[in-house]
Structure formats: C-alpha cells, structure tokens
Structure 1
Amino acid sequence: MSTWLASSFLSKDRIIAKPGFNRWLAAPAALAVHLCIGQVYAFSVFNLPLTKVLGVTESLPEDWKLTTLGWIFSLAIMFLGLSAAFAGKWLEKVGPRVTMFCSALCFSGGFFIAAAGVELHSIWLLYLGYGVLGGIGLGLGYVSPVSTLIKWFPDRRGMATGLAIMGFGGGAMIGAPLSVFLMKHFASATSVGVAETFVTMGCIYLVFMMIGAFSIRLPAEGWLPANFQPDTRKSKLITDKHVHVEQVLKTPQFYLLWLVLCLNVTAGIGVLGQASAMSQEMFKDQITPEKAAAFVGMLSFFNMGGRFVWSTLSDYLGRKNVYFTFFVLGCVLYSIVPYTGRMNNVMLFMGCYAVIMSMYGGGFSTIPAYLADIFGTQYVGAIHGRLLTAWATAGVAGPVLVNYLRESQIAQGVPKADAYNMTMQIMAGLLLVGFFCNLGIKAVDEKHHLKHDDVNDQFDAA
C-alpha cells in the first residue's frame, strides 16, 4: 500500500509546492473539504422528516422517534473523533491528499448507505452509513487541512487554524437550506424526500471534496515565509520545543486540554444537534420548519465566523484567555436561554445562541494553536487527532443530555416549550468546570521535550 502511495498521483511527494507558490491558495482547498463535511451540523433539519418516513404527513407508531434518530448525529461525531485519533499519525506519513481523497469516498458513501436505510426503513443502515462510514469521512477530512495550514502559516497559527476549520462551521449554512429545498423538491404523497436528498447531496459533496483533495499543496521541508519572525511574546505557554505524540499522553496538560475541549463541545453540540426542533418547540407559533432551517443556517454563520474571529484574536490575547472568555460568557448565556422562552423573545433567544455558537466554533479553531503553543508544531497533526476523542465523547454526551432530558421532562408533564430549561442549566455547570480545567494549564515540564537529535528519528518511528 505504502509503495503504491509513493508512486501514485496521491503521493505526498507529488503535492510539494514549487518555489513562489502563494500560500493563501492552500486555504480554498481546505475550505472545499470543510464546507462539505460541515453539513453534519445541519443534520437536525432531517430529524422531524425522518420521524414521518412511514406516515409521510404525520408520525405513525412504527416511525422513528427523535431519541432514536439522535444517535445518528452522535455516532457521526463519535467516529469523527475516533478516526481523527487514528488518522493523525497516518496523515503525517502519507500527506493530506490521500486523507482528503479517502474522506470524500467515506463521507459521500455514508449518504448513499443512509439513503438505502431510509428506503428500507432500517435505522441500522442509517447508523452504519451516515453515523459510522460518514463519521470516518468527517474525521479524515477534518484533520487534513489543519496541520497543513499550520505549516503554511507559522507566523499566524490562530488565524491559520481558523481558516482551516472555518468551513466546517459554515457547512450547515449551505447544507440546511439545500437539504430543505431538496426534500421539498423530492417530496410526494408517498415520500418525505429524504432518501433522494441523501443521494443527491452525496454526489454533490463527492465532487467538491475531490476538487479540494487535488488542489492541496504542502510547503517544502524547512520552508518559512519571507521576513518571518518567531513569536517573541513573553509567555511560558508558547514553546519552541517539541513533545512527541506518544510522550504527550504522559503530560497532565494533554488531559486538561482534553477536558477543556470536551466540556466546551458538550455544552454546544447537544443543542446544535436539535437546533431546528428546539426552536420550533420553544416558539411554536412563530417559527415554522422553513424559519427553523434559516435559524440553523444563522447558527452556522456564527459558528463559521467565530472559528476565524476567535482564533485570530487568540494570536493577540493568548489561547488561555480566549478559553476563559468562552467559559465565563457561555455560562451566563446558557443561564439566560430558558428565560427567553418564558418571555417569548425570539430575538433574544437567537442572539444568545449566535454568541454561543461563535464561541463553540472558536473553541475548535483555537485548540490546534493551543496545542502547537504547548507541545510544539512537529507533531501537532497527530496530537490534534488524538485530542479529538474529546469531540467524540462530547458528540455522544451532548445530544444524549438534550434528547433524553427532554423526553424525561415531557413524560413528567412539562410543556415542550419548557422541556429544555434543565438542560441549559446543566450546560452552564459544565462550562464552569471547564473554566477551572483551563485555569490549571501550565507549561510542559522540560523532561517531556524532545532533544534536537531525536526529532527526526522519533518522527520516522511515528
């Protein structure tokens, strides 16, 4: 396999940029992939139609429940994290083109299998297709552009990770209205149009992800931008040393960062996965399915914008300070959300979630730069992949908290409009715990640093 990769058009050697290559051209290739796989954030627009696959106009007893369907999104995020953890080291060996290519095949293939699941009314095919295979495609596509753009922008790590991950947050801005449009187009007296939509979107995303895969380039070994100046800020958290990916697991900093990411993501992802249904239930007389799709699209816009804005700000404010902002402000906003429903204030509700989603996205784009600051840049792709197991954990914990607490509240006679109140308070508590985890992050002990002569040997061993 490795011999074939070395000689094929997918090989790492074939994508080394020639002298004079404009590094900004690497960004569109990253965005092409991330805008596609970011569709996962729009999956909530399928939830209500999928509860009517058999009944079409209304749910039948044999139709799937929201709690059953919630596992599709959770599985996709879980396998994103797991595949990223395993693919990080592989990525450093084979290069981003191979991983993007495999990502395109898995992600689009997941749509096709999920479509078969809808037609056969098999929830297990939906789990296997979009959840497992699609989730693997998400993980492979997610890590590839991040480490690549960090190599292209050593002078602007936060901005670089923001560029790489910005598209993932913006995928729902395209995916949500496209999904609603296609479902309406394919809907009939005997179909809600979901299966046909899955097939169509799988084909569209396959094309655009392949364009990204064949456009990506790597800088030559030792390349640095003109007039590059190393970061001279007096911060103990920014190191010019490197920690090997295996040694990282022996440091307390890795596990604190794991918790920081997991808690920040858990608080946001559960709500995001049910954004469409939640907005319709909390404001039943004001938000239609079309408006809910627009709301999901708006959240995607702030999710995307936050990934670039917050990570760029972290170049000036510091990664630790930016995460402090996420936890403090997020805790306040989650506490406010239940009151927006009681006041029937749609604008305040949307405003709170716009800021929350910007910080949720900013957490993803800031964490790779945070890792590079603390552990060095040599193995940041592999380390980032392993840290994304926190996302896999949050991908299960967040939706489960929202979905099952909602069901429990409704079973106790709580109106649907108020069924999310307890969940919001729990999310605020999780962010408070994250604040103290971030507070405990210090510089890595020198005993974990690689000696200069060991860097190349250990990298080959990885």
Structure 2
Amino acid sequence: MARTKPMNRWLVVIGAILIQLSLGAIYAWSVFTPALKAVGWSKIQTQVVFAVGLACFALIMVWAGKKLPIWGPRTLTVISGVVLGAGYILAGLFGGTNFWLILLCIGVIGGSGIGIGYVVPIAVGMRWFPDKKGMITGLAVAGFGFGAMGWVKLAGSWAHLLATFGLSTTFVLYGIAFTVLVISGGLWMVYPPDGWLPPGYTPPETAATSTKGKQGFTSGEMLRTRQFHAIFLTFTFSAGAGLMSIGLMKLYPMEALQGAGYSAVEASAIAGTAMAVFFSLANGIGRIAWGMMSDLMGRKAAIIIMTATQGICVIGFPTMATNELILYVGATFIGFNFGGNFALFPTMTADTFGAHTVGQNYPFVFLAYGVGGIFGPILGGLLGDMDNFPMAFTICGVLCLVGAVLTYTVHPPHQKQSPNNT
C-alpha cells in the first residue's frame, strides 16, 4: 500500500495561530474591568479574577502535558475550546456581574481551558518544523500576544461590543468565538507520520536524541537535572523582570516624568503610549523575531543575549523613564525581550530534553512564569511603597544578568551520568 501523503505543514501554522488568538483572551481581561468597577467591584476583585486565571492556566498546563500523549493533540484542543468557551458563556448567562460566579467561570474554568490548549500548538509545531523550531514557536505564541489586542479592540473601539450589547452578552459572544476558533484550529493539530522529516533536512545529533533516543527525557528525569534548574531560574528571573515592568510601565514613568518637569497630563499620556503601543507591539514582534534568530544562532546564545540585554535595559530604565523619547526606546526593548521568553524557553526545553517530550516537559518549565509573576510585581509594589522604584528595577535587572550566566553553564545532560549529578 502507498503511504498517505503528509498534509501541508503550513496548515499547522494556521491552526496554531487560530488557537492562540483565542487563548490570548486572558490578557484582554482589563477591557472588562471598568464596567465591573462601575457596578461596585473593587480593584482587588478585578485583579483576583485575572490572577486566578493565570494560576489555573499554569497549573492545568502541567496536567494537560501529561494527557497529551494519551489523548492526542486534536482531542486536547477540542476540550480546550469547549472549556474556555463554556467559561465565558456561563459567565454571560449566569454570572452577570456577580464576583464569585465570574471568578469561577472566567478565572477557574476559562483559565483551565487556556492551560489545556496552550502547549498543543507548540508541541505539534515542533514536530512538523524540526528545522524551524524557533520560528514556529514564535509564530504560535505571537498569536497569544496579538490576540489580546484584538479582543480588547473588538470590545471597545473597533466593534463597540460592550457599549452596544453590554457585559453579559459580550461574554457570551466571546465564548462562542473562542470555541469556534480553537476547535477550528484543532483540526490541523495532528503529529506528522513516524519518521517524517522535511525534505533535505537532517536532524543534528544532540544529547537528548543520542542518549535518550527519539523519546527524549521524561519529566521525572528532567526535573532531577541541574540543567532544568538553571533554565527554570533563568525563565523566572526574565519573566519576573518583564511582569514587574508591565505592572509599573504606566505608574512609574508618570512619576519619573513629572519629576523631570512634565505636567501630570503629559506624563499620563506619554506613559500610556509607552505601555499600550511601544511595549505591546514589541512584545508580539519579539516572540517571532527571537524565535527566528534562535534558529540561526542557537537557543542558548539567544537566551544569553536576550537576558543580558534585558538586564541592562531594566537597570537603566529609571533613567530612561525621565525622557519621552528614551522612555519609548526602553519600553520597546523591554517588551521585545519579554516576548522572546515565550519563543525561546519552549525550544530550549526541546533542544535540551527532546522535542518528542516537550509537550510533557515544557509545562514544568512554564511554572517559572508563575513564580516570576509573583515575585516581580510584589517586589515592585513593596519597594514602590518605600518610594524606591529604581531599586526594584535594579534588583530585577541584576537577576536577569545572573540568568544569562546560568544559561551559559547549561550543557546537554547525559544519560550515563546520575540524574542528580548531570
């Protein structure tokens, strides 16, 4: 019998983008908060829903990674679309503006739906694009970043959904859209046939393939290596610096600019532009650009350069924030490097521990994002209350430089060594 011809692998890219555009809904949460505050929600309540959504996203992703080889990518994607969509639809039908119901529907159920599907396009894309792992991962996670901007604009200035239909109906409409887009993208979430390689491509010999065979390191084996700990800490430091910067990108420059002689109105407008335009666009572009650059220079070199330049930019940001044009440059560089995290660390995980097990292994690495999301913003808030924002930027910047050094020490693990001594 003739073998079935593999599908066009670029369909995987289309599917990945459709999925991640919808999963990026979590970063669009801020568009709903003004309407919720108008009906009596406190600021902390609006942030609790967002925080719970992020926590469920990261934790459920570990569970989804374990189910991926059992259920398969297409099934897992369908479940993701149904759960994510159901969370928003239920919030619209029954939640209304009730805090606890919204927390359950969008924070817990919606966040879990995102966690179930996030790793699928990354794992599938790497199988179809072993020659361009950085590029395909960058494209997939860029959809996650740009998707947030699209959902915010649809609710506001593009389609005026909130003004026209109200909060509950907008939740329902978004839930339906998320379900349709994720399931549609999931149609192409299938692995290539065993042994398939792009024409003319010869895979390089790496420790993950030579010592562990095609299947790579299991999650248990990976967790016992010092390479995992170095990668995890570097991701924690880099993500923490970026997330702290996101939290302070409007607040701190307003303070710094006013101290440099700008009026309160001017400072607010400039800081808002730095966050909404320069940081946000650079964040999305950085995911693609760093992924493509890493295909040329290698993942280790790319992470070293990214974290080192991020460290320098973050340390210098308090000075940059006192001038409009230099602030825009600083926001662009920090956003560009922050976006690179989401293209480089999945591929670094694949290169170090095996591409065939990245769906199970990367969720454990991604937990670093959650750790960074706790220490970075809290550090910024604590030192801000002490009137010392610059010290927070300095600490995070130095930690990024430490991460660059840690990454330099990462060498491929070998099976012949004891896991605790690799």
Aligned equivalents of 1:69, 1:282: Cα separation in 2 = 27
Deviation per residue, 1:352-390 (Å, 9 max, x gap) = 222212211211111122112211223121011222222
- Give CA-to-partner distance per residue, 1:220-261, whole Å, 9 cap, x none: 1221111122227xxx77754422222112211112111111
- Count of aligned positions: 407
Pairing of 1:361-440 with structure 2 (within 5 A): 361-403=339-381, 405-406=383-384, 408-409=385-386, 420-440=389-409
Q: Which amino acid aligns with 1:318?
A: G
Query: Partner of 1:360 in structure 2?
Result: 338
- How far the C-alpha of 1:23 sits from its partner, in A, is 0.8
TM-score, structure 2 normalization: 0.84
1:11-410 map, 5 Å: 18-54=4-40, 63-65=41-43, 67-115=44-92, 119-122=96-99, 124-181=100-157, 185-187=161-163, 193-231=166-204, 239-241=209-211, 242-272=216-246, 284-286=264-266, 292=272, 295-296=275-276, 298-343=278-323, 345=324, 347-403=325-381, 405-406=383-384, 408-409=385-386
One of 402, 405, 414 as aligned partner of 1:445: 414
Contact 1:37 1:138 in 2 (8 A): yes
Q: Distance in 2 between matches of 1:130 and 1:271?
A: 25
Give CA deviations for 1:181-224 in whole Å, capped at 9, x if unaligned: 38955349xx9x54443333222222211211223332112211
| 8 A contact 1:99–1:140 mirrored in 2 | yes
1:285 alignment partner, SS class: helix
SS in 2 for 1:43: helix
Deviation at 1:317, TM superposition (A): 1.4
Distance in structure 2 (CA, Å) of the matches to 1:213 and 1:142: 12
Deviations 1:144-189 (Å, cap 9, x if unpaired)?
011101110122222222233221122223123223338955349x
**C-alpha RMSD over aligned residues:** 3.3
Distance 1:290 1:103 in 2: 39
Distance 1:169 1:185, change over 3 A: closer
* Deviation sequence 1:61-112 (CA, Å, 0-9, x none): xx402x4433333222222221111111211221111111111122223334
Identity %: 29
Name structure 1 gaps, 5 residues minimum.
1-16, 55-62, 451-462
Which piece of structure 1 moves more, 105-114 or 35-44? 105-114
Contact 1:111 1:199 in 2 (8 A): yes
Distance, in Å, in 2 between the alignment partners of 1:215 and 1:291 is: 41
Contact 2:36 2:97 in 1 (8 A): no
Q: Any gaps of 5 or more consecutive residues in structure 2?
A: 258-263
The letter of the residue matching 2:329 is: G
- Compute the TM-score of the two structures, normalised by the length of structure 1: 0.78
* Corresponding letter in the other structure for 2:116: L
Cα deviations across residues 247-297 of structure 1 (Å, max 9, x unaligned)? 112211112111111221111124335656777777751477999489436
Farther-moved stretch of structure 1 (422-431 vs 165-174): 422-431
Alpha-carbon separation, structure 1, partners of 2:154 and 2:72 = 32
Q: Which moved more, 1:70-79 or 1:326-335?
A: 70-79
